[in-house]
Amino acid sequence: MNRHYASPKGHSAFPFPIASNRSFQPRPQPAFRRRRQLFHRFLLLGGISFLLFLLIFPSWRAAILPAISLGLVNHSEELHHLQTVRYFDLSEVQGTEKGWERGERVLMLTPLRDASSHLPMFFSHLRNLTYPHNLIDLAFLVSDSRDDTMEMLSRMLQEVQDDPDPKMNFGEISVIQKDFGQKVQQDVESRHGFEAQASRRKLMAQARNWLLSATLRPTHSWVYWRDADVETAPTTIIEDLMRHNKDVTVPNVWRPLPDWLGGEQPYDLNSWQESETALALADSLDEDAVIVEGYAEYATWRPHLAYLRDPYGDPDMEMELDGIGGVSILAKARVFRSGVHFPAFSFEKHAETEGFGKMARRMNFSVVGLPHYTIWHLYEPSLDDLRHMEEMDREREAREEEERQRQYQEQEKGHDDAKSGRSSGSDAGSSEKSG
């Protein structure tokens, strides 16, 4: 039906009729438009809030993003930026021959027991090391001590870290205290007596393993073991050993002696090459036996690194070793990460550092010693040396007393001769007057 509006005058207001087939869409209602705009605003606000939530709470990303992406997106790169995840690429800490140029970190380990008398000398050596101090992390294990080792160590560490010269400050420092029930006394006779060696070495191996496992970090490329009682060593020793780029490297270790004992002597006999005689000896011993080198009870006839020293030899000359001593060891950290450790049991009839050398060789790591590169251990007199020195002191005092008696007798004789001379002169004058 046609629809039109009528005019007041009675005729149509439009000049033409409206066709019945023309359709009109209803105009949008204002309420519907407002609801749609409000929905869009809530959606935008929700998206912004979600993004802010992920930025403020990064730990939720690992749980939320994989679910949203349905596993289609790889978020491994995101791990580098998470505050609760630390990423390490161990291929970058393999150890190279010029680690100081590549910023390679060294973990320097020192076990201590009743060592307060050695710490001033040890810290003097520490300060003089030429390897960048900020790349050296220090770690100490204080065990079974009865002196003030811990107190002195804490004080000296504070002093070196408070040094105004920033080149003196070291990296991370760890001090660990744990007793192992070591009963062997620290005097030379007790420490180096044959009867105490097997049990002492096993406990020392435990101490080394505890110290290493508690302080080795994924950032370390090298591990340097250093005893506190080294008296003299090159300040460049870390770089010197590192240049060889071997898995395990040790220097030769001697000690100075008084002139009446020969002036010097090989100290560390635990660095050696294996011999057929020693292998046959090992086969004849019990399963738990521990061969210790340098004692008449175990004649091994092994070539020792110490005895091959030439004061004028090439310090870079290398000698392959099977067993090593523990006074000074530089090893790549990957050796320990691969499972090599200091056996606290009989491993191929050896324990501690000698067993460590054997285990490293068994796992095809390179182990070398430098026969002509020498460091010097502190001289500690044995009981026989002390008795001999006391005897020498008595002989010296006897000679000095004899010399004093001789000088006194000569002085007395001189006085007597002078008196005799004056008396003779007086008698001669009296004779002339009487004549």
pLDDT digits (tens, 9 = 90+) for 16-74: 444 455 555 555 556 667 777 777 787 888 888 877 776 776 666 656 666 565 555 45
Pair (371, 300) in one structural domain:
yes
Per-residue pLDDT at 190 exceeds 70: no
Domain assignment present for 423: no
Domain assignment present for 57: yes
Cα separation of 46 and 70, whole Å?
21
Pair (102, 64) in one structural domain:
no
Pair (54, 160) in one structural domain:
no
Domain assignment present for 298: yes
Strands 248-256 and 328-332: antiparallel
Domain assignment present for 29: no
User: Identity (one letter) of the amino acid at 155?
Assistant: R
The reported pLDDT for the residue numbered 44 is: 84
Comparing 272 with 31, the larger pLDDT belongs to 272
Pair (68, 158) in one structural domain:
no
Residue 312 has a CB neighbour count (10 Å cut-off) of 5
Pair (225, 313) in one structural domain:
yes
Comparing 189 with 254, the larger pLDDT belongs to 254
The reported pLDDT for the residue numbered 379 is: 92
Pair (249, 353) in one structural domain:
yes
Percent of the chain scored above 90 by pLDDT? 59
* Cα-Cα-Cα-Cα dihedral sign, residues 428, 433, 434, 435: positive
Per-residue pLDDT at 333 exceeds 60: yes
Q: Domain containing 159 — which CATH number?
A: 3.90.550.10
Pair (51, 196) in one structural domain:
no
Pair (126, 65) in one structural domain:
no
Strands 248-256 and 367-377: parallel
Domain assignment present for 157: yes
The reported pLDDT for the residue numbered 67 is: 59
Pair (51, 187) in one structural domain:
no
Structurally, the chain folds into a number of domains equal to 2
The reported pLDDT for the residue numbered 8 is: 44
- The per-residue DSSP string of 315-368 comes to TT--EE-SB--SSEEEEEHHHHHTT----SS-BTTB-HHHHHHHHHHHTT--EE
Domain assignment present for 210: yes
Pair (72, 200) in one structural domain:
no
State which residues form the domain around 225.
Answer: 90-384
- Model confidence, pTM: 0.73
Pair (235, 372) in one structural domain:
yes
Domain assignment present for 311: yes
Q: Which of 22, 55, 81 is the last residue of a domain?
A: 81
Q: Which of 81, 102, 136 is the last residue of a domain?
A: 81
